[in-house]
Structure 1
Amino acid sequence: MNDAAAFHRLFRLLAGQCDGDSWSVVEIPAIDRLRQALIAPPHQVSNTDLAVLLRQALIFESMRRNWAPLAECDVLGDRWVGFQDWSTFGLKAISISGGWRVSPQPWQPDWVEVDGTNSIEARASGETVCRHFESASVPADPFLSKLNRKAYRSTAQRNAVRAALRAPIGSTLVIMLATGEGKSLISHAVAVAGYGSYPGQSSDDGVTLVVVPTVTLALDQEAGALDAGFKGPLAYRSGEQANNRQIIERIEAGSQSLCYASPEAVCGALREPLKAAARAGYLKAIVIDEAHLVDAWGTGFRTEFQLLGGLRRELIQLSPEYRQPRTLLLSATLTEASLTTLRTLFGTPGEFTEIAGASLRPEPEYWSSSATNETERVERVIEALYHAPRPAILYVTRVSDAENWFQRIYGLGFRRISLVTGKTSLVERDATLLKWRAGDIDLVIATSAFGLGIDYPHVRSIIHACIPESLDRFYQEVGRGGRDGRACMSLLIPAHDDWSVAKRISDVTVIGIDRGLQRWLAMFEQAEHIPNSRVFRVRLSTSPGFTDDDIDMVGERSADWNARTLTLMERAGLIRQCGIEHRMGNNEPWQKIEILDHDHLHYEVWQRRVGPLRQAIAEANSSSLYLMRQYILRQECITRLLIQLYGDDRVGAVCTSCSQCRAMPASRISLVGIARTFPWQHPLPPSDLVLALMDGSSRLIVFYDSFRRDSRWFRRLGEVFEVLGQNGVINLTLLANQDEFDKEVTERLSADPWFVAKVDRLLPGRLPPGPEVILSTERPPLTRANLSKRDINKARIFILPLDTESPDRPGIRLSQCFDGRMFFFDEFHQRLMR
């Protein structure tokens, strides 16, 4: 159903001329959301809810018509007879027999610089397409058939998945992928494809641990994974004993393909099961989602984020040499300070590198008002809620503010709303997520935790009734909108008092030198040395002393501050955390510490090492708040500020729409691209089995008879791919190839993470570095350079028709003049099968 037909059907539904149950237009959310609300039970939806959705649908249709003429509809029925508040919602209503004839009015609030815009929310209500996903030009690699995926969302997503699956043993890869590009596919791909076989196991065995910051995100990720075909339960969550017991048993057995858990659970109840899995070689990967929070949250509270580095080292050390887990750190964007923290905590052992595939989002249109008093801010937010397209999220900073706003909004007559804060129970979170996905909730009032990584695509409005403490937090929250690639609106409505709240949160409490050294001395005094090493065990619950200030510093409270102290010392290069132990019969945690600086007990060393680090942390937080202030005061384009925050070498950008750019179109920033190179430039060579088939030139041609490509030949070709994949060759180029090949051998290619390119001629850069198979079903367009001698890490195996001609000797078969190693297909298959 096209847009015009959908609106016509909605027009008839509003006029009572058709039902709303027998049709839907999920591809047009602006219309389908109103349809769903109109047929919902009356106690679940109010006229206030319906009026907002009606405005959105009329603006959508008006945008389709280029505002000439304005869309209008007849609203009939008993429920509308006494309704008189149309103008409150930016609607013009004329009384007609049995109801009203309604049309939209532009929304141009006098507290926003409208800059000649017809209606500030029109682009979002009109669902203007800004990005295209699921492009047929980015076909899926064969292993994604296990997830029923036929395409990648984008080239950036494909590059990220391939980089993750090529990660060397024990390495750490930072992956920056734009919000909406589908970071969750990376974890799914690792779980189904893995990193090759291991003696006694298949590539499907093993655990991919995904560390998520919130219960809400764990539940959302679990739902997405279940839809992709994974077997639940997948999310470890407090209070779910039966669920958690099953997950623990499956982790220890290596059959828990995916596990979503918080840092607290990973460092606590899941630590021993994960250690058992590591010893058995079952731990495939440690994935940390929203990795920017390791720095943003782990420094000031929720210390477990930064304890993950020590746990990772412990798990790697426990794993068999050839089954050490890879670490993947996922985020849409990372500041330089965040990347430095990640490098410190996860940089050893193993390689540490990054792949930047992120671009700043084109969907948000940015609007903001100047700061005002609280009373006027309330009026502005309410006006926005009467006009802003749905679904919408209203963000605030404090839990008490969220609770107050929920009561206020409910009192205005809105019913399709929900509240999510750190105090929201698990049951309430579950209910909200289900209704949010089903389209039964139009507005969520929330603190910053809601929405982290939640892949609900159709959010049209992000409203901030606060000043975020950093430009990074602001951009992360704005990024919850427009994940379907269609326009969304960001509306920031600050009050004067917000500045002090933002400043207080920005000033992260980092323990001082005097107090930090005092805590370290107390811990080290009771430390236990592990013989023949530089490693000590320190008791985390150690009290720092016996003064009046220390009398309450016992148990968990003291352990938390001690953990912060150790993390600060690690970031300063004094120690390295190697994992936590729990004593038999005593659940007290002991952290294993490797001493890196023998002068770690000296005050002047703390001054020299810890002092500058504390200053750098403070400056980074202050800088991000300063950038937030520049945006609010309209002193700089939001795109330029974000490039300054994240670095032009890590994010690409095209100018979106903010007050600076709307006022001065000539100042719009030009497209900024980033160099996209594959992070692992030195892959492992193929195994000895494959190398033994080649000569010193690292190339090999296998010729086959085109007339003998029967079912037996295809089966044996699949066997060739299977063996090659198990021996380090997973790049496949289909040269001048027909679709029949990947249909016949997909099952074999899916056994290992093969990367496939279909090309008309061989060009560099089409696949990740590494050995490759080049297969052709007809005479290929080869050049002499294509057949030249290769480096061992770039070995080539050609599988070509027997009648392939020499590229520089027309009329002469290549098999008669090639100067390298050659086999006929049957012999090649036979040698591999040995």
Structure 2
Amino acid sequence: MHNSDVAEAQEAIANWPDKSGFSGSVGDPCRRLIHALENFQSVHDPTGWRDVAGLVRQVLLTDHLLFGGRPQLVVPTEHPWPTVDQWAALNCTAVMVGVGRYRVTAEPWLPSIGEDPDAQLRAASQLASVYRGQVMQKQSTSVADPFWAAAHGYTTYRGAAQQQAARAAVTNDGVPLLVSLATGQGKTAVAWSKPLLSSVGVTVVIVPTIVLALDMERRTRMRASASRLSLSPVDRYAYIGSLDPDIKRTIREAVRAGSQRILYTSPEAFVSGLSSSVIDAATAGLLQQVVVDEAHLVDQWGNDFRPEFQMIPALVREAYDRAPAERKPSVLLMSATIAQRQFDLLTTLFGRDDTLVDLVWGSTLRTEPAYFAHAFGSEDDRVNAVLNAASMLPRPTIVYTTTVADAEAWVSRLADNGLRRVGIVTGRSSDNDRQTAVERWRGLTTNGTDARTDFDIMVGTSAFGLGIDVSDVRSIVHACIPESVDRYYQEVGRAGRDGRATTAVLYAGPGDVKVARRLAGATFIGEEKGWNRWRALLRSAERVQGVPGVRYRVRKSSLPTYMDRGFGQSAAWNIRTLTLMAQAGVISLRAPTWVPPKDGTPEQRALIQEQFFDDAPDLVDFELIDGALMSRENWVEALSDEKARAHRESERSLRAVNALIQGHECVGTLLARHYGVQVKGGRHLTRSNCRGCPWCRANPDRATGVDDDDFSAPRLPDPERQTDPLSAWRAPDSALLFITLAEGEDGFNLLRRVASMGVSVFFGISEILGNRLQQQVPTVPIIRGDTSDPSGLADYYRASVVFMANDGDCAAALGRAALGLPTYLIGPEDLRDPNRSGWMLRDTNDAVVGAAALLREL
């Protein structure tokens, strides 16, 4: 907020009902108030009295908490402006100051209920931080690697976790990589690094919502334009259903040719219309990277709501199998939070044979939210509490409900009570509805141009908000009990993406537990119907010709014998049955891919191809895995075990939400425990943060608090192919190659040659030298290693690394080589051996070569 916002707001109010616009730069609350006043002239206008009163109090409280004093605004008394009683309902005092004018001042309001006076004081301080826009994320000073600076122009990382995630992403050469990196730590930049460093190859990013695909298209287009990069031959980056068929066809051809460098799409489009193009690009060695954003949704949505999430791994696996050995696509799974079941499922789905999923663990809870929760004994009390929260809390705000009917009811209820700058997004909203709603809420179009704000509050179900880049959401209100702790925390995380303080309020009603329990378990088909449906699918399956292995193809919409019409649900039940069987190990799902017919004219083949793309969204391919599971008894047993596991996890997650509402434990501690995972005998923990919750406010001496220190660096996974281009120059039983520099040699030409052979990690080089090296070898990611790296990179990374011996220091290089890890040490001829007093290293090491001689040979 600017210190002139009250003056700007006063000018707009004084000019009302004329549109005043802005006479200078203003903060978001003042901008929203000015926009609201433009449509505030009668009871039928899109702006209601609570819209205006709520924004007035936000402008006043923000000014008071930032600059002190007792700010005030003089407003009209005439209709439709609020009455004295209405101002009082929003904790504002309105005093008559002349004819037709009130002087309005604002008082704080707290969403905490039933807390003692001392806890209320702490709550007041936590809410004040939201008005002040307090930055909760500590700025990192970790110096960027040369590849990071070259790809993005950044001089620092946002922390050690992002540093390791970025390094892992660019050095990954095939092993599926799961990155757990907190929201706000720059996952998008991590995913962009590979395509921005290279000149050919396709990166496909699978995102959960069309709105996010369009938003990422906007950001990518701006990045390409600013850097003059050629990332798409048609300057389109989102492959979505509403695209013109000709544009879709052009994008598919660009994917095949490798000229579509970055493409965002949905799970459904990835496994249907795009699948053949992806396979063709992989076969040609042009599929560089597949990124699955919000990867945890493979579990949360994959069983029920959108089972195509669980078909993604099948297509990814086929693309990997088809790609040439030296140009395998890398797989990047990204999420802010991963629980044990989600990690296990991702490992099962994306792992290959004995190759597990690599993990970069930077999981830490959000520092921005202050949590409030209360359970009401009557629905009327809950409704009044939610109405107060929506009216009083800082905006922009999201009100979450569980069902579409509840969301629609809340929009009507809010409008009836004077809140009309309210939008809605649910599972029934069309792609265009979602995009328009977000633009009107954010005040920014998907093309990046400013727009007026028409909404301050969005009402949505869990279908709203995934990955949406609205950075300044300040408040989250749950008018429901989420059916899982995952859903709750993901929705809380829609706020504060700019790193500033937020508030999260959960008000539960008496009927919420029953609804949440009904939704907590995935929808599974019964044993008898499931078996009959599976046999019917198998009988209707067609053998797919021209592909490796024995593969069958079915239509999602095919009806079982006991149904004579689909009722719009048959496809959903068919795909649920197939994905459940895939989890149980009965079948392996495969995405349908286009196989050109051998016969026919080019025109006939083109018609058949177009028909395939029209049919692709309704097709599913699969391979049989375990013949023993084809008997009814074994089939039922395998699927029953899988259903039991899913139900146990659902119950555990719902119990965690109930514990959160009861306030018997710190919310941060509860969430951190949920998001720990067991991997290879060790447990990865999520760092707990809690800016404030009912338990911490009641127990200040034991409050969790916020830890803004840099998170300890996770280990960097080893690449699948261990680069060691100078292995022939080392002694058979030695990991060290000592390369000597004659007097006057700087070694840069040797560094450049070694880098061009695929070596990425260099210790002992300066920032200037590293950036120069990156410029000379632009397609190889140059990493500046540091022997003080808390992850101990020098002591575990199995691919070859280079050490430059500065000031005669080579102890770290020798220590690494003693562990059997390939090490190239470059230093002066008279470098001394620190382990043997009085000896030169050239006399104690079996593998020594001069830099000039080595360059001639290379």
Q: TM-score range by the shorter chain?
A: 0.7 to 0.9
Query: Structure 1 residues 161 and 602, CA, compared in 2 at 3 Å: closer, same or farther?
Result: same
Letter in 1 for 2:252: I
Deviations 1:33-74 (A, max 9, x none): 415643787238777445433433443344446xxx654244
In the alignment, is residue 485 of structure 1 matched against residue 515 of structure 2? no
Superposed CA RMSD in Å reads: 3.6
Letter in 2 for 1:552: R
In the alignment, is residue 221 of structure 1 matched against residue 226 of structure 2? no
Query: Matches of 1:433 and 1:762 in 2, distance apart?
Result: 41
1:208 matched residue in structure 2:
203
1:790 matched residue in structure 2:
817
Query: Structure 1 residues 528 and 421, CA, compared in 2 at 3 Å: closer, same or farther?
Result: closer
Once the two structures are superposed, the pairs formed by residues 40-189 of structure 1 within 5 Å of their partners are: 42-43=38-39, 48-64=50-66, 70-75=69-74, 84=83, 85-96=86-97, 101-108=103-110, 111=113, 113=115, 115-117=119-121, 119=124, 121-133=127-139, 135-169=140-174, 171-189=175-193
Equivalent position to 1:457, from 465, 471, 481 = 471
In the alignment, is residue 499 of structure 1 matched against residue 536 of structure 2? no
Per-residue deviation, 1:801: 5.4
2:449 matched residue in structure 1:
none
Answer with 11-20 or 176-185: which moved more.
11-20
2:755 matched residue in structure 1:
725
Equivalent position to 1:238, from 238, 241, 256 = 241
Answer with 372-381 or 525-534: which moved more.
525-534
Residue aligned with 1:328, SS:
strand
Q: Are the equivalent residues in 1 in contact too, given 2:50–2:419 (CA < 8 A)?
A: yes
Q: Are the equivalent residues in 1 in contact too, given 2:552–2:621 (CA < 8 A)?
A: yes
Answer with 155-164 or 139-148: which moved more.
139-148
Residue aligned with 1:129, SS:
coil
Once the two structures are superposed, the pairs formed by residues 276-675 of structure 1 within 5 Å of their partners are: 276-349=280-353, 350-414=355-419, 416-438=421-443, 440=453, 441-525=455-539, 527=541, 535-541=550-556, 545-547=560-562, 550-553=563-566, 557-581=569-593, 585=608, 587=612, 591-647=620-676, 649-669=684-704
Per-residue deviation, 1:32: 4.4
Letter in 2 for 1:819: N
Query: Structure 1 residues 810 and 14, CA, compared in 2 at 3 Å: closer, same or farther?
Result: farther
Query: Structure 1 residues 512 and 821, CA, compared in 2 at 3 Å: closer, same or farther?
Result: same
Query: Structure 1 residues 165 and 816, CA, compared in 2 at 3 Å: closer, same or farther?
Result: closer
Query: Structure 1 residues 112 and 599, CA, compared in 2 at 3 Å: closer, same or farther?
Result: same
Query: Structure 1 residues 761 and 626, CA, compared in 2 at 3 Å: closer, same or farther?
Result: closer
Letter in 2 for 1:381: V
Query: Structure 1 residues 359 and 453, CA, compared in 2 at 3 Å: closer, same or farther?
Result: same
2:809 matched residue in structure 1:
781
Q: Are the equivalent residues in 1 in contact too, given 2:272–2:591 (CA < 8 A)?
A: no
Residue aligned with 2:358, SS:
strand
2:727 matched residue in structure 1:
691
Per-residue deviation, 1:341: 2.0
Per-residue deviation, 1:182: 1.9
Per-residue deviation, 1:614: 0.9
Q: How many residues align?
A: 792
Query: Matches of 2:31 and 2:838 in 1, distance apart?
Result: 68
Letter in 1 for 2:517: K
Query: Structure 1 residues 316 and 498, CA, compared in 2 at 3 Å: closer, same or farther?
Result: same
Deviations 1:663-706 (A, max 9, x none): 12234348899975425247533344x32344443333444467
Per-residue deviation, 1:480: 0.9
Per-residue deviation, 1:417: 3.6
Answer with 266-275 or 597-606: which moved more.
597-606
Answer with 495-504 or 272-281: which moved more.
495-504
Q: Are the equivalent residues in 1 in contact too, given 2:142–2:158 (CA < 8 A)?
A: no
Residue aligned with 1:605, SS:
helix
Query: Matches of 1:81 and 1:571 in 2, distance apart?
Result: 59
Deviations 1:266-285 (A, max 9, x none): 11111111121111111112
Q: Are the equivalent residues in 2 in contact too, given 1:180–1:483 (CA < 8 A)?
A: yes
Deviations 1:162-193 (A, max 9, x none): 22223342x22222111221221222113223
Q: Note the residue ranges of structure 2 that are not aligned, 5 or more in a row.
A: 15-19, 41-46, 225-230, 445-452, 598-607, 678-683
Residue aligned with 1:798, SS:
strand
Query: Matches of 2:457 and 2:808 in 1, distance apart?
Result: 58
Q: Are the equivalent residues in 2 in contact too, given 1:313–1:579 (CA < 8 A)?
A: no
Q: Are the equivalent residues in 1 in contact too, given 2:183–2:497 (CA < 8 A)?
A: yes
Per-residue deviation, 1:306: 1.1
Q: Are the equivalent residues in 2 in contact too, given 1:537–1:590 (CA < 8 A)?
A: no
Q: Are the equivalent residues in 1 in contact too, given 2:773–2:782 (CA < 8 A)?
A: no
Query: Structure 1 residues 39 and 403, CA, compared in 2 at 3 Å: closer, same or farther?
Result: closer
Residue aligned with 1:366, SS:
strand
In the alignment, is residue 678 of structure 1 matched against residue 715 of structure 2? yes
Answer with 118-127 or 72-81: which moved more.
72-81
Per-residue deviation, 1:107: 0.9
Q: Are the equivalent residues in 2 in contact too, given 1:761–1:781 (CA < 8 A)?
A: no
Q: Are the equivalent residues in 1 in contact too, given 2:359–2:717 (CA < 8 A)?
A: no
Q: Are the equivalent residues in 1 in contact too, given 2:304–2:522 (CA < 8 A)?
A: yes
Normalization by structure 1: what TM-score?
Answer: 0.85
Letter in 1 for 2:357: F
2:228 matched residue in structure 1:
none
Per-residue deviation, 1:473: 0.2
Deviations 1:592-613 (A, max 9, x none): 4333322222122123322111
Q: Note the residue ranges of structure 1 that are not aligned, 5 or more in a row.
A: 26-30, 194-202
Query: Structure 1 residues 154 and 96, CA, compared in 2 at 3 Å: closer, same or farther?
Result: farther
Residue aligned with 1:285, SS:
strand
Query: Matches of 2:787 and 2:325 in 1, distance apart?
Result: 38
Query: Matches of 2:109 and 2:92 in 1, distance apart?
Result: 10
Query: Structure 1 residues 459 and 818, CA, compared in 2 at 3 Å: closer, same or farther?
Result: farther
In the alignment, is residue 10 of structure 1 matched against residue 14 of structure 2? no
Query: Structure 1 residues 390 and 803, CA, compared in 2 at 3 Å: closer, same or farther?
Result: farther
Q: Are the equivalent residues in 1 in contact too, given 2:160–2:713 (CA < 8 A)?
A: no
Letter in 2 for 1:616: R
Residue aligned with 2:303, SS:
coil
Per-residue deviation, 1:773: 2.0
Per-residue deviation, 1:110: 7.7
Normalization by structure 2: what TM-score?
Answer: 0.83
Letter in 1 for 2:703: R
Answer with 291-300 or 571-580: which moved more.
571-580
Query: Structure 1 residues 116 and 383, CA, compared in 2 at 3 Å: closer, same or farther?
Result: same
Query: Matches of 1:798 and 1:820 in 2, distance apart?
Result: 13
Letter in 2 for 1:685: Q
Per-residue deviation, 1:21: 4.6
Q: Are the equivalent residues in 2 in contact too, given 1:702–1:824 (CA < 8 A)?
A: yes
Residue aligned with 2:722, SS:
coil
Letter in 2 for 1:239: S
1:197 matched residue in structure 2:
none
Residue aligned with 2:380, SS:
helix
Query: Matches of 1:748 and 1:77 in 2, distance apart?
Result: 67
Per-residue deviation, 1:487: 1.3
Q: Which runs of 4+ in 1 moved over 6 A?
A: 17-20, 44-47, 76-81, 529-534, 670-675, 759-763, 808-812
Residue aligned with 2:411, SS:
helix
Deviations 1:250-279 (A, max 9, x none): 111111111111111111111111121111
Residue aligned with 1:43, SS:
coil
Query: Matches of 2:552 and 2:360 in 1, distance apart?
Result: 36
Residue aligned with 1:321, SS:
coil
